[in-house]
Every structure is written in structure tokens, then in C-alpha cells.
Structure 1
């Protein structure tokens, strides 16, 4: 059963990378029709509404009584609140390429935070594999001619803080997985995300006198489709699967999968936007995949060795 759970966790980790890879494309489409905060509001409205149906019908049981709700709210403050707010304002002040480069450092930041707070240990070879996957992403962006412009310093700092927010979320979600079910954590996070972004968005419209325009994006079928993808698939599905993954494998092992989303976004750009794929894309993708496989294979060997030593 444990092996089956582990297989499912790895399948979910790959699925999440694919979903996140496509989410960049849908975010670009959504932002044509609405501002960043309105997009986030409709995104989380979709995810919270969809999850409220099975909860209201009693198909999914959620109970928060006697559980560490304060720590769960801190989790929601890191992700989705902190992560998406920092990302939106970071991308307004820096390029999406800089966002991609900085996001690739998430596994390194997660590894450090998980070592401090969860006492997760990674071997030297695992550390090298994590850095290999990060190097693969950076290599693709640098070869594309994208670097980090120090003139965009505010945006760069905000985007780096998204790494910290996601790493903090991964570590805290792993420690909370023994208290809450994936559905309970996900429902709380979607609800907090929707309520907070709705209040901020409506306040912004009221101040600028554009409250009548708040629902305008819903007149576009393209925007609605993008919001549903971002809310239901890219937020709700990935949150449910992430909390499941973190109950089965270490935070540092899960986070390295985030770099696979770079490969997916390259493929999505080629198929849907006609972007060109070059030799350096293939080389970078190979390095990313090698790093992800290496980190996790070595992680399983380490776990197997530890269990063998414990049983002797």
C-alpha cells in the first residue's frame, strides 16, 4: 500500500508540473481581459465554488474542530495569498523570464528551509541533482538572451520572495498533513484566497470609481475559460494533489518537480504560440529531467538504506 501511495505521489508531482506549465499561458490570456487582482479574485471564486459543492452535499467531509487552525491560516497566508500577490506585483516590475529564472530556485530554498524546520536530510548527490535541475532552467533562459536586470530590483526581490512563500508552504503543509486531510487544507486555502482577493479587488474598484466594471471580464468566454482553468485545475487540483504528495514524500523531493513546468511551458509556447524550440531548449530540458530523476531516485535509495539499517 505504501509503495502504491508513493507511486501516486510521484504521478501527482508530474501532473502538477504539467498543470503549472500551462498556467503561464492561461494567465497571459486572462490578463488581457482583467487586471491582476481581478484575475486572482475570479480564479479563487471558481476554485472555492467548485469545492463548495461536494462539501455542501456531504461528499467531502471537512472538520476543523480541535485542529491547529492558526497554523493552517499561516499556510494560507503563504500560499495562495503571499505567493500570488508577490508574483503578480513582481511580474509587473520584472519580466516573465526573470520570474522563470527565480522560480527555478524554489527547490534550493525548500531544501534549506526543510533542513532547518523539518530536519530533512539530503545527501551530497541529491543536492547536486537539485542544483542540476535549477541550472537546466537558468541555462534555457540565459541562452534565450534573458538575464536578470538589476534595474528591475524591486520585481526581482518580490519574485524571489515567491520562492520563500512556496518553500514555506511546502514545509508547513508537510508538517500539517498529520492533522488535516488534503481536502480540509485545500478548502481552507481556497476560501481564504477568494475572500481576501475579493475584498482587495472590490476596495480597489470602489476607490477608483470603477465598481461597475468589476464583472466586465465575465463577458468574455476566453477569460471565463482561463479563470476556470486557473481556479479549478491550476489552484484547486494542484493544492489537493500537493497536500497529498507532501503527506507521502519529503518537501525537498517534491519541490524539484516544479522545474519540470519550465519544459511544459516551452512545449505549450511552441504548440499554441508558434514559439521556436532550439538545441539549448533540449539540453536544458535534459538537465532538468536528469536532476529531478536523480534527486528522487537517490532519495528512494536513501530511504531504503535507512529502513534496512533500522530493521537490522
Structure 2
């Protein structure tokens, strides 16, 4: 399980750094057009990776029940609302709203698939929310609810619902293969939508600077392809609630990335938020419980060895 925890932490760093990259890309190309090509590129990359791993196969008819809804929620709705929202709200507001992901996952899991987090996990969710709030408020706080804020909330809500589908699909379909189909079909669907919502926007790609293509490639490969591949695999292994707890780290990394690339100031409240977020992740993910059980097991084994010697 510790390999999954490390994998999820790595994913959160990629997702966190992807937020300022998206803000940069959206300065040059419309949100739907840009994200449709970025997601399609990521889908092709995932298929190449899985082909090398020799796990490509056609889905069974029953598995399309998971692929289509998962694609509509995880790719089309999530990325449409995320990219459109980022053009209408601040990165600070977006970071705070995205930080509600673990709480929404815990609630939806309880209501829809009857998976109830433990008291310690609920404590982790609460600590994570407090930590996320303190980090964002250190940057000036919410500046009033806007349409962009609503879009960001819809993006995280649809993504959380898709994680529940991924956890169900993992029973028969490799989550990594599910990711590949969702990205490729979802990217194509977004492209069709962009033709109606942003006609002629493809021409904007001919006027972007070389740096755009570097950031575009990094965002598509790491911020979407590899990160979604690893995250959906982790959801299948650890379950949606435990995996989602790590999303608290996403907010912190996003703000650190903004400070690094956009010159925002880091304060003591950011470090206090970091402590709360990491504590929340340890409790909410079950890592603290795993450490406690391992310690008790070793202690019990030590006591039995002593008794045996005596």
C-alpha cells in the first residue's frame, strides 16, 4: 500500500503544477479547443505506454457501461468546466474549490456506493479542509463567488463522481486501460464541442510562441496522461476515498507552483497549512492507521520472542 501512497503523492505534484501551466496555455488559445487537443494528445500517449506494457484489448460490451459515463464525467465535463472556469476566476479561488475534492469523495462514497470512511479518515478530511483553507486565505482569500467559481466546483464534482465509476470498473477492466479509452474518446468529444463553441479557434495555434508547445507537451504528458494513468490505477487499488485524500496536496503544490512561476509570495500560513494538509493526508488515507498497526504487530512479535527466550 505504501507504493500506492507514494504514487498518489507524485500524481498530486503533477496535478498541482499543471494548474499554472493551464493558466499559461489559456492565454493563447480558447479553453475548449486547447484542452480537446491536449486531452487527445494525452490519450494517444497513454495508448503508446499501454501498448509497450502489452495490456491493450478491446473492451467487452458490459465494460462500455463504465467507459462512456466515466469519459463524460472525468474528461468531457471535468476538463470543460475546469478550463472554462480558469478563464473566469483566480487561481487562488480555483485552488480552494478543488481542495474540496476529498470531502466530496467521502460524501458521495457514503451516499452512492455505501463505503463509509472511519472516524479517523473523517478527521483527516476535516484537517485537510482546514489546511487548504488556511493556505488559500493566506493568498488573499475568496474574492466573491463568480460563474468561474461555479464552473470549478462543477469540475471537481464531476471528477469525484467519475472516481466512483473507476472504482467499480476496476473489478473487470484495468483502470489504466479505462483511462486510455476515456482520454481518447473524451478528447475527440471535446474537439467536436469546440467546433461549435469556439469556431475558427484552431487558427490560434499558428500564432503561439515556442514556449507554448513546451508547456503544452508537459501538461499533456505529465499533467494528464501519466498522472491520470497512475491516479485511476490507485483508485482501483486503494478505493476512491483513500485516494482522494491526497488531493489536498494538489492545492498546496498549485500555490507553490504559482509562487515559483508567477512570483506570488509564500508566508508562514502556507507552512502551517502544509502541516495540517500532511496530517490530514496521513489520517484520511489510512497511512496513520497502517503505521499504528505495524507498530503494534512488531511490538507483539517482540514480546512473544522475549517470552519464548524466558
TM over 0.5, yes or no? Answer: yes
Alpha carbons 1:46, 1:227 under 8 Å: kept: no
**TM alignment of 1:228-239, pairs within 5 A:** 228-239=217-228
1:160 aligns with 2:153: yes
1:265 aligns with 2:265: no
In the aligned structure 1, how far is the partner of 2:183 from the partner of 2:293?
33
| TM-score (normalizing by structure 2) | 0.86
Deviates more, 1:266-275 or 1:26-35: 266-275
Cross-structure match for 1:202: 195
Cross-structure match for 1:189: 182
Deviates more, 1:241-250 or 1:116-125: 116-125
Cross-structure match for 1:216: 206
Alpha carbons 2:167, 2:240 under 8 Å: kept: yes
Deviates more, 1:14-23 or 1:91-100: 91-100
* 2:62 match: secondary structure: coil
Q: Could you tell me how far 1:48 is from its partner in structure 2?
A: 2.3
The runs of 5 or more residues in structure 2 that have no matched partner are 295-310
The runs of 4+ residues in structure 1 deviating greater than 4 Å are 54-58, 301-304
Task: Summarize the Cα distance change of 1:271–1:55 in structure 2 as closer, same or farther, 3 Å threshold.
Answer: closer
In the aligned structure 2, how far is the partner of 1:67 from the partner of 1:255?
26
The runs of 5 or more residues in structure 1 that have no matched partner are 1-5, 305-312
| TM-score (normalizing by structure 1) | 0.86
**TM alignment of 1:73-88, pairs within 5 A:** 73-88=68-83
Residues 178-222 of structure 1 deviation map (CA, whole Å, 9 limit, x = unaligned): 12113320111111222112112233454xxx36715425x5321
In the aligned structure 2, how far is the partner of 1:69 from the partner of 1:303?
40
How many pairs does the alignment contain? 293
CA RMSD of aligned residues (A): 2.3
Task: Summarize the Cα distance change of 1:147–1:271 in structure 2 as closer, same or farther, 3 Å threshold.
Answer: closer
Alpha carbons 1:54, 1:60 under 8 Å: kept: no
Q: Could you tell me how far 1:9 is from its partner in structure 2?
A: 1.3
Deviates more, 1:76-85 or 1:92-101: 92-101
1:149 aligns with 2:138: no
Residues 129-152 of structure 1 deviation map (CA, whole Å, 9 limit, x = unaligned): 1111111111122232222514x2
Task: Summarize the Cα distance change of 1:125–1:58 in structure 2 as closer, same or farther, 3 Å threshold.
Answer: closer
* 1:240 match: secondary structure: helix
Cross-structure match for 1:38: 33
